[in-house]
Structure 1
């Protein structure tokens, strides 16, 4: 991932909020991120990436940005997938730390506090879900299988790969994340940890969705993730 142009990174945190048809959840997600950032950092911004939504997500994001200069918005003309949205947000980040928070507001205050309070304690602060039972059994099975496969392929022992993680902005920008799929964070973590960068894991609960449907459990996403893993194996073994 190429470093963004512009002024040097400032003390604080950039929160990237990807959103695809999350009109029911976006405003609450942004408010939650800002409240947590104020508790832990001297300054912050929230970068909403409207990933080609067809509902009112884009309009809601624009209203939030109009009322608060710390909220910035990127609009995609069509859905580009979660990894693409994340990379777009990271490329625009203006602060020393960056994390992703989902526009569906499935995360919690406890999650954000746990991640943000540990900023600077390691190169990467990795979150895993401590109450996976709030998700359906199919999604739990897929998630667990993915963790086992990635750990086995790359000799790692993480508890979770597809959640949010708090990165040093300069460091995550040094990683080439090739996939645009839901496996973007797994690719980043594998490459960083195999370089020897430090990490800490923290478990927190997630909240049930208030509305809308998850985008993760779709055939296209499963195919994209499979391709990303195959490519990652090749990249790592070069």
Structure 2
């Protein structure tokens, strides 16, 4: 069994101005919360010094490993590749842009003793522009109605017990990946909890989440996931026997 309790997967595409501070934030949070954690930086085909800086950081932090994509694969592909290379029992994505304070999500790690998924929702929405908040609200409504969910937020720094991915295939390589995983995990009846988290202002540079290319890809991924879940009926898989959900079901059956 791995000595690491949690692995933070950190995708980065041209984040040379933010990656060092983002890594330091996670490392400081590990120390403050007394967490034995790992960081997996995924350099997603950056054309700047992101990969070089990440490699230098691995010399400073022994619990950091770096993965390089030759060309940009998308944040979903980066998370999935990083997760598969990680050694922790639990995985969470924290982007390399410094928009998320690691302490906000990692402080909920003890909650993972009782659930398989911890889903954050933003309570300080004012840090984002009005247009971004409106877009997020519309997106949330469409997803909840389409897939019978009641989540407050779907694209945050979700913590997953890695064993639940054994029977799940991730198809989406872009920003829709988090939504796809939540749809499939919740349809599989995995236990989850929603947790309030604050969002920090992005360091330097512009977000890539709301570009036309990203939004077009999200729409296409939404359609493909809808077809997979409702037409091809591949949305449900057996629950992992190592999950908290399976343990709880077993306890309930023993009581009955």
**TM norm structure 1:** 0.92
Separation in 2, partners of 1:59, 1:158: 38
Deviations 1:32-54 (A, max 9, x none): 11222344465221000011111
Which whole-Å CA distance do the structure 1 matches of 2:205 and 2:96 have between them? 11
| Long gaps (5+) in structure 2 | 234-256
Deviations 1:152-180 (A, max 9, x none): 00110000111111110111343211000
Residue 221 of structure 2 is aligned to residue 198 of structure 1:
no
Paired position in structure 1 for 2:219: 226
- Label 1:175 to 1:41 Cα distance change in 2 as closer, same or farther (>3 A): farther
CA distance in 2 between counterparts of 1:180 and 1:11 reads 26
Task: Tell which has more relative contact order, 1 or 2 (C-alpha 8 A, sep 6+).
Answer: 1
Among candidates 148, 160, 164, match of residue 155 of structure 1:
148
Partner of 1:22: 15
Cα distance in 2 for partners of 1:171, 1:9 equals 17
SS of 1:54's equivalent in the other structure is: coil
Tell me how far apart the structure 2 counterparts of residues 222 and 130 of structure 1 sit (CA, whole Å): 24
Deviates more, 1:82-91 or 1:10-19: 10-19
Kept in 1, the 8 Å contact 2:94–2:102? The answer is no
Q: 5+ residue gaps in structure 1?
A: 1-7
- SS of the aligned residue for 1:119 comes to helix
Is residue 146 of structure 1 aligned with residue 139 of structure 2?
A: yes
Report the more deviating stretch, 228-237 or 107-116: 107-116
- Aligned partner of residue 89 in structure 2, secondary structure: strand
Tell me the distance in 2 between the aligned counterparts of 1:110 and 1:64: 20
Query: Does structure 2 retain, via aligned residues, the 8 Å contact 1:128–1:159?
Result: yes
* Runs of 4+ deviating beyond 4 Å: 8-11, 39-42
Looking at structure 2, the residues matched to 113 and 101 of structure 1 have their Cα atoms a distance apart, in angstroms, of 10
Per-residue Cα deviation, 1:117-148 (whole angstroms, up to 9, x for no partner): 42222110011111111111221121111110
Distance 1:173 1:130 in 2: 32
Number of the residue aligned with 2:76: 83
Residue 13 in 1 paired to residue 10 in 2?
no
1:184 matches 2:177: yes
Q: Give the drift of 1:205.
A: 1.1
1:134 to 127, 133, 151: 127
Q: 1:60 and 2:90 equivalent?
A: no
Aligned to 1:121: 114
Provide the aligned length of Structure 1 versus Structure 2: 231
RMSD across aligned C-alpha pairs, in angstroms? 1.5
Name 1:37's counterpart in structure 2.
Answer: 30
Conservation of the 8 A alpha-carbon contact between 1:33 and 1:112: no
Query: Retained in 1: the 8 A contact 2:89–2:161?
Result: yes
Task: Give the TM-score normalised by the residue count of structure 2.
Answer: 0.86
Distance 1:122 1:43 in 2: 20
The 8 Å contact of residues 12 and 41 in structure 1, kept in 2 or not, is answered as no
Deviation at 1:11, TM superposition (A): 4.8
